[in-house]
Structure 1
């Protein structure tokens, strides 16, 4: 065989191989689109695919999808029969009917809205100049009226764009950008948002997700009320495992907000005397957020902590920290409950909130889920505020509580919910507050007559201590409350016992 013939055969083989790879990549991408949009409406009653088009070519494709978000429109009802004019004695009933109609209108759900997404897909193995099964460029498709409204915020920039690179394994990486936005009106105020950027990495099985999100900041001001809000840079990253479903995603999330400032020099409402009461400026700085969730032995646990420093008016906050958690949540039971709730239109506020049909739908769902909710009690579920701490000038105030069920048996589950809570429910709460802070609060409140004068605070605390409601611990006032086995204790003593609130 001649050299030219060999080269020709080789070129043909490469062409066939490339064409086969492209056809395979195109088939895989189309299949994944079909699966994703078939599954989407099954996840929640609030999202529906109303129109979809997939125009597939050899080297690429264009997918256009219109989603309707919100409550599904109710079926058109038959026109009501003409109603005769009420007699004089029936006018009150007619007025009542009109009032009921007005109440139903007030509780009617918001109308659903639609968004259209267009994906321009380049098939691999050389997709968009890179080695990949495909690359996808996504954007919003807006009608003329919506585009005009959007331009008031974003100018000529595209409000949302995303670029996705799909690997041959099916894993993908998406880089998304939300354009900066600005709206200013003379005499009203302005809103300036510096946009957002995010990167998301997802494995082929769609069970592992890593993402990084950055928002440079925003500024808001309202000229008439004087309210202003400024938010500094926000950065969040997460590494999540959704093998058990998105509702039960586990892993760790970390975030940091540089600053958050809120000011209302004219107040937010009107005082009883008809004058606006100014609020002190609140400034929070160096805010760190840590969240974590796990599943072990079929039990789900999650927790989060928020901490930082700041300033309220002229008072400097050296440290604040808030931490909450939930433990021993039966994962399978929780997923069943969450899925049922998400898939119920009534549970998501659809239908007329005050209507009989809506109330009956929610009651039916609650009755259906009641046995599953009670069954979860056997695993001793617990949730609470683990810590809420504020430290100022070396003085610290702290509050915490936990609530849950423990020791629940199959026999207990036969009892009504209230009886179950009284027998197996557990609640514990602790509080610590510096005496100086109580005096300062009294001094501030006394000006408006809302609290006793500061000189009475010490006497009131002493009375509370004599009755067993509080304790003195150095310069602090403390209190403990515990409910378990159907009995209530205050500071370690049963309620009603000497020195325990008798």
Structure 2
């Protein structure tokens, strides 16, 4: 009898502890949910969560409402737009054993409801998703992981048919938005064009798109240090232009972005590599471009100033004007944005194409450039009328190019009909000889090179003053 009483007491004790833990978890999740919404609205002013409803229970809660997205212009007649409302419903099962599917603070299953103005096929597509297709597991440490499954689709458009297989993606991070990561895979997406005047025989296919990224830090998530990447096995395009068959294939596409921070200064870099084949005309020789490389950098962007620019830009997106009238005076807004952007100049930002290179017919060409205006002060930007002169005075431009001589003949041959090819090649060689004679380019074996430096009003071309001065 005593053993039975002890066992009963233990059951009551454990049950009470579990109920207490569940209630505590429910309060924590509710608080975290509210904080997340508040931070989202702060960082993206054109988004607002409206019509919120909460149904709290001991073991589960339901949060629903709509996300109001800025002012969407009316495509018909240039009328003033109206906000777009996207509905949501989050079913939250509280821990410590949410749904008895594992240990954690909560499991959230989300559904999205599109408004009536969205095309019916798209509304039906999202309405057909199951609750578990968007599922988020939340840990007690404030971490989360979301798994997304998009079902296969076949979507009819006026110009053709768009189709894709099942898509999977994941996201993870911290509920306080101090860190996030994502990755996903789209096996294929294809467009089969209808045979009409707008898209005659147009077919497009993207194969094996993979993406991933991560960032962390305080402040706006647009400006947090991190990396993101995307890879595409190949893009294919088949179509018709003016009676000529066109085909293009771009493969081995890799895209990488990096954002770093040195105190308040941000440095961003984007890199793209790929191969490409282009053919215009069924009987034409394909143009093969190999090992395409493009790298662009932006250095020394002042984060707090850029944040002000972003805030102002996004706030404008949430404002709807009266019927037929703009929400704000566009000229005044343009001047204000220029004034704000000018405040970046004292930090000597630099934009550059670090490399643009490709190989064609076995020959490789490269070019690069960088532009900055160092030395400007906060006082210089106080007088907008004199700023342009200051910019010209402080401008620094560096550019380098190295191109194969053989490209002159190859491009001349392809530049028109076969009968005039010899004449076009001769003309191109004459222009090249003239440029060499003027000192604009320098012959370097099988290549021609050119180097330009503009600094504080002086221009050097291949290390010599422009115009011989």
TM-score (norm 2): 0.87
What are the equivalent positions in structure 2 for 1:158-173 lying under 5 Å apart?
161-173=133-145
Say which is worse superposed, 357-366 or 337-346, in terms of deviation: 357-366
Distance 1:405 1:231 in 2: 41
SS, match of residue 266 in structure 2: strand
Deviation readout 1:42-62 (Å, 9 max, x if unpaired): 333432223111111111011
- Greater per-residue strand proportion: 2
Distance 1:261 1:219 in 2: 9
State yes or no: 1:238 paired with 2:213: yes
Deviation readout 1:317-359 (Å, 9 max, x if unpaired): 231111111111122222222222222238x997789859432
SS, match of residue 396 in structure 1: strand
What are the equivalent positions in structure 2 for 1:117-266 lying under 5 Å apart?
117-128=88-99, 129-141=101-113, 148-150=120-122, 156-157=128-129, 161-184=133-156, 189-224=160-195, 225-264=200-239, 266=240
> What runs of 5+ residues in structure 1 fail to find an aligned partner?
75-103, 268-275
**RMSD (Å) for aligned C-alpha atoms:** 3.2
Q: Give the direction of change, closer, same or farther, for the CA distance of 1:381–1:457 in structure 2 (3 Å limit).
A: same
SS, match of residue 305 in structure 1: strand
Q: 2:395 aligns with which of 425, 436, 444?
A: 425
Deviation readout 1:211-267 (Å, 9 max, x if unpaired): 111111111121322222110011112121142321212122233111111222x21
Q: Give the direction of change, closer, same or farther, for the CA distance of 1:425–1:188 in structure 2 (3 Å limit).
A: closer
Distance 2:325 2:244 in 1: 37
Distance 1:353 1:299 in 2: 41
SS, match of residue 217 in structure 1: strand
State yes or no: 1:401 paired with 2:376: no
Contact 1:207 1:243 in 2 (8 A): yes
Distance 1:439 1:352 in 2: 58
Give the length in aligned residue pairs: 455
> Match of 1:14?
14
Contact 2:113 2:126 in 1 (8 A): no
Distance 1:394 1:241 in 2: 43
Contact 1:303 1:323 in 2 (8 A): yes
> Match of 1:88?
none
> Match of 1:81?
none
Distance 2:52 2:421 in 1: 61
Deviation readout 1:115-147 (Å, 9 max, x if unpaired): 111111101111022111110011123578969
Distance 1:201 1:403 in 2: 38
> Match of 1:461?
432
Distance 1:330 1:423 in 2: 22
Say which is worse superposed, 409-418 or 248-257, in terms of deviation: 409-418
Contact 2:113 2:127 in 1 (8 A): no
> What runs of 5+ residues in structure 2 fail to find an aligned partner?
280-285
SS, match of residue 125 in structure 1: coil
> Match of 1:78?
none
Q: Give the direction of change, closer, same or farther, for the CA distance of 1:289–1:148 in structure 2 (3 Å limit).
A: closer
SS, match of residue 419 in structure 1: helix
Post-superposition offset of 1:490:
2.4
> Match of 1:47?
47
Distance 1:384 1:106 in 2: 41
> Match of 1:100?
none
Q: Give the direction of change, closer, same or farther, for the CA distance of 1:191–1:447 in structure 2 (3 Å limit).
A: same
SS, match of residue 322 in structure 1: strand
Deviation readout 1:357-382 (Å, 9 max, x if unpaired): 43255146437xx2x53343222211
Post-superposition offset of 1:399:
2.2
Contact 2:270 2:295 in 1 (8 A): yes
Distance 2:261 2:176 in 1: 19
Distance 2:131 2:321 in 1: 29
> Match of 2:360?
392
> Match of 1:444?
414
Q: Give the direction of change, closer, same or farther, for the CA distance of 1:45–1:209 in structure 2 (3 Å limit).
A: closer
Say which is worse superposed, 118-127 or 223-232, in terms of deviation: 223-232
Contact 1:193 1:219 in 2 (8 A): yes
Distance 2:8 2:454 in 1: 86
Post-superposition offset of 1:161:
3.2
SS, match of residue 496 in structure 1: helix
Q: Give the direction of change, closer, same or farther, for the CA distance of 1:467–1:452 in structure 2 (3 Å limit).
A: farther
Contact 1:195 1:217 in 2 (8 A): no
What are the equivalent positions in structure 2 for 1:279-298 lying under 5 Å apart?
280-298=246-264
Post-superposition offset of 1:291:
1.8
